[in-house]
Amino acid sequence: MKITKLGGKNFRTIKGNFEIPLNGETINLFYADNNGAGKTSALYLFLFLVANYVSGKTIDEYINWDSDSMEAYTEFEFQSNKFKIEYSNIKGKANKTLFINEEEFSGITACNKKLKEYFDPSFFIPSVFIEQNAKNFTSIKPSDRRENLKKVFNIDFSTEVKEIEKEEKELQDNEIAKVEKELIIEKAKKFEPQKLEEQIDKSEYIEKIKLVDKLTDEIARLSTNVADVETQKTKHDNIEKRISEEEQNLINLKNKKLTLEEKYNKLLDFSIDDEELISLNKKVDEIKFERIKIFNDEELKTIKQSLSNLNADIRVLTKKLQDCSSGVCPTCGKDFDSHDIDSINAEINLAKENKIKLESQIEELEKEKKVYDETVRLNESKKRDKELLLSKIEAEQKRLDRESEINKRDLESCKSELEAIDFTSIEKTIETLKTELESIIIKDVSDIEEEIKIKKAERTALNEFCTKWESIEAKNKVIKENNDKLVEEEKASKQKIVELQTKLDDLTIKKQQLYKMKNFLRKEFPSFVVSTMVEKIQDDMNEFISKVYYKDLSVEISANDDTIDVLYGNGDKKIDAVNASGAEESLLALSYCYSLNKLKGFDLLLMDEVDSSFTGEAAKVLADMIYKIKDEYGFIGIISHVDSVKDFYEMNGANMIKMEEVK
The 10s digit of each residue's pLDDT in 242-294 is 888 888 888 888 888 888 888 888 888 877 777 888 888 888 888 887 777 78
Rounded average pLDDT over 326-352? 71
Does the reported pTM lie above 0.95? no
Instruction: Please give the mean pLDDT across all residues of the chain.
Output: 83
Structural domains in the chain plus CATH codes:
2-139+600-661 (3.40.50.300), 275-396 (1.10.287.510)
| pLDDT of 88 above 90 | yes
Position 526 scores a pLDDT of 61
DSSP secondary structure string for all residues of 271-305: ----HHHHHHHHHHHH--PPP-PPP-HHHHHHHHH
In what helix (H) or strand (E) does residue 91 lie, and over which residues does it extend?
A: none
pLDDT digits (tens, 9 = 90+) for 644-653: 888 899 999 9
Range of 53-57, 173-177, 220-224, 440-444 with top mean pLDDT: 173-177
pLDDT in tens, 448-470: 777 778 888 888 887 887 778 77
| Residue 528: predicted pLDDT | 65
State residue 336's pLDDT score: 57
| Percentage of the chain modeled with pLDDT above 90 | 16
Decide if pLDDT at 567 tops 80.
yes
Note every long-range contact of 43-48, with CB atoms under 8 Å and residues 24 or more positions apart, other chains counting: 43/129, 43/606, 43/608, 43/637, 43/639, 44/12, 45/6, 45/8, 45/11, 45/12, 45/72, 45/74, 46/3, 46/6, 46/74, 46/606, 46/637, 47/125, 47/129, 47/606, 48/72, 48/87
The whole-number average pLDDT for the span 551-568 is: 83
pLDDT of residue 487 exceeding 70, the answer is: yes
Predicted confidence (pLDDT) at residue 403 exceeds the cutoff of 70: yes
Residue 541 or 101, more confident: 101
The whole-angstrom separation of Cα 272 and Cα 407 is: 10
Is the model's pLDDT at 54 over the cut of 80? yes
* pLDDT at res. 155: 63
- What is the C-alpha separation between 215 and 150, in angstroms, rounded? 97
> Is the pLDDT reported for residue 99 higher than 60?
yes
Residue 36 falls in which region: left (phi positive, over 0), alpha (psi -120 to 50) or beta: left
Least confident residue range of 193-207, 292-306, 475-489: 193-207
* C-alpha dihedral sign at 166, 168, 169, 171: positive
Give 103's pLDDT tier (boundaries 50, 70, 90).
Answer: very high
pLDDT of residue 358: 85
Amino acid at 366: E
| pLDDT at 382 exceeding the cut of 60 | yes
pLDDT tens profile 497-556: 888 888 888 888 888 887 777 776 666 556 666 777 888 888 888 888 888 777 777 888
